Amino acid sequence: MILKPLKEPLSAGGYGAFPSAALDFPDDSIDFLKLLVKDPVTTFPGRISGDSLKNIGVLDGDWCLIQKGIEAKPNDLVAATIDDQFFIKRFKPKYSDRNQLQTLKLKSANPDFSDFDITDETEFYLWGVITWTFRNWKKL
Positions marked active-site: 52, 89
Question: What residue spans of 37-101 are helical by DSSP H?
Answer: none
Within 8 A by CB and 6+ apart from 97, the residues are: none
3 state SS of 99: coil
